[in-house]
Amino acid sequence: MILVTGGAGFIGANFVLDWLQTHDEPLINLDKMTYAGNHDNLVTLTGDERHTLVVGDIGDSVLVSDLLHRYRPRAIINFAAESHVDRSIHGPGDFIDTNVVGTFRLLEATRQYWTSLSPGERSSFRFLHVSTDEVYGSLNADDPAFTETTPYTPNSPYSASKAASDHLVRAWHHTYALPVLTTNCSNNYGPYQFPEKLIPLMLHHALTDKPLPIYGDGQNIRDWLYVGDHASGIRRVLEAGRVGETYNIGGNNERSNLQVVHALCDLLDRLQPHPEGSYRRLIRFVTDRPGHDRRYAIDATKIRTELGWTPQHHFESGLEQTLRWYLSHSDWIARVTSGAYRQWLETHYTEENTPCARD
């Protein structure tokens, strides 16, 4: 079996759902269920014995050690993180706690468990750390895309904390020979994304007649990857990646934020036209994010040539698929935006049954 951390969040949940669609191998899903952890994302797995959700913190060394020795996973995939740049600007402490200290504690518990394995189990074991392209900093318009050897230049508390975690993972390999893999991925979009991130936030605002807030001049550029492609890239790296290596995962879809929001409005105009006219009428330019990185771009040559992985979704078709998913899951959006999704935690998780396992 494998252990996934942060598997009730956006990318982790998509990975867990994809994994159980393509494998029979069971998985343990360790998630702290912060505001970003949503049991609704996993509701289709109710009754599926291959999935065990454990509510807990990657920084809880006793819990993690217990899980590792009890379930004896052959691999760990670490999605757990505080992931939103704007939140990191307003409150960086949680980012240091989870992304830096939490990753350190997870690595230490993993090292202790890994040392106890037989030589064969030790050599096939993998610790795959999921990271971001934001660790490489900001590009100018004409700069070449990030490669795996681009120096780290993080600019936000979020990207600095992820950079720190990547360095720890690297060091645990070089110093202790822990068999690690790191992936650095561009901006994801798709089902189950918390509506604080650009695409689901704009969609939710458009559907509720709220302004669509574009930071600065809207010309900041991101590379966009459909979340299902990210999941398949991670599976491929886990399967065939060279130990100790880093793999960039990108969608080859650079778009300015304004282009993204225009595309979203135009699709909504077609799928759910508004009587007062185009959704573009809601666009507003607002004060820029402090330290806002201008451009991210991924050179994904290494994963393509070494591991044969390429993304399957082009941005426009992936965005349409994503919008159709949200439009047909208005209950999911309503429960997230009203806070009702937290009820699962309140009902199922109390101090008395900490930590608890649920399916």
> Which residues are CB-contacts of 86 (< 8 A; sequence separation ≥ 6)?
196, 289
Query: In this structure, what token pair is assigned to residue 116?
Result: 């106890």
DSSP of 1-17, one letter per residue? -EEEESTTSHHHHHHHH
Q: How far is the CB of 281 from ligand NAD (least distance, A)?
A: 28
The footprint of ligand TYD on residues 282-341 (CB under 6 A) is 289
Beta-carbon-side half-sphere exposure of residue 42 (alpha carbons within 13 Å): 33
| 220 binding partner (options ligand TYD, ligand NAD, none; Cβ < 5 to 8 Å by kind) | ligand TYD
- Contacts with ligand TYD, 180-219, as mask; x by CB under 6 A: -------x---------xx--x-----------xxx----
- Residues forming contacts to ligand NAD in the complex (CB under 6 A) are 5-6, 8-12, 30-34, 36-37, 57-59, 79-83, 98, 102, 130, 132, 162, 185, 187-188, 194
- Alpha carbon of residue 54 to chain centroid: 18
Chain positions 134 to 163 lying near ligand TYD, rule: CB under 6 A, are none
**Gap between the Cα atoms of 16 and 22, Å rounded:** 10
Identified catalytic residue from 134, 166, 223, 229: 134
Catalytic residue among 113, 136, 158, 189: 158
Reduced to 3 states (helix: H, G, I; strand: E, B; else coil), residue 66 is helix
Q: Which does 85 bind (CB under 5 to 8 A by kind): ligand TYD, ligand NAD, none?
A: ligand TYD
- The rounded distance, in Å, linking the Cα atoms of 284 and 262 is 12
Which of 2, 85, 180, 282 is the binder for ligand TYD (CB under 6 A)? Answer: 85
The site string for ligand TYD over 249-268 (x = CB under 6 A, - otherwise) reads --------x-----------
Q: Name which of ligand TYD, ligand NAD, none residue 232 binds, using a CB cut-off of 5 to 8 Å depending on partner kind.
A: none
Q: SS3 for 258?
A: helix
Residue 222 binds to ligand TYD (criterion: CB under 6 A): yes
Closest CB to ligand NAD among 87 and 274? 87
- Return the axis-axis angle of helices 198-207 and 257-271, rounded to nearest 10°: 40
- Least Cβ distance, residue 282 to ligand TYD (angstroms): 12
* 133: annotated active-site residue: yes
State both tokens at 122. Answer: 């030790």
Selection from 5, 12, 53 nearest residue 231 by Cα: 12
Q: Is 158 a catalytic residue?
A: yes
Q: Looking at 57, 60, 133, 229, which residue is catalytic?
A: 133
With respect to ligand TYD, which residue has the nearer C-beta, 85 or 336? 85
Q: Quick one: what does residue 57 bind among ligand NAD, ligand TYD, none, with the CB cut-off 5 to 8 Å set by partner type?
A: ligand NAD
- Joined tokens for residue 155: 């600019």
As beta bridge partners, residue 180 has 127
- Of ligand TYD, ligand NAD, none, which one does residue 53 interact with (CB within 5 to 8 Å by kind)? none
Strands 221-226 and 51-55: unpaired
Element (H, E) at 286: strand 283-286
Residue 212 backbone phi and psi in degrees, to 5: -100, 100
Q: Which residues are catalytic?
A: 133-134, 158
Residue ranges that bind ligand TYD, judged by CB under 6 A: 85, 187, 197-198, 201, 213-215, 220, 222, 257, 289
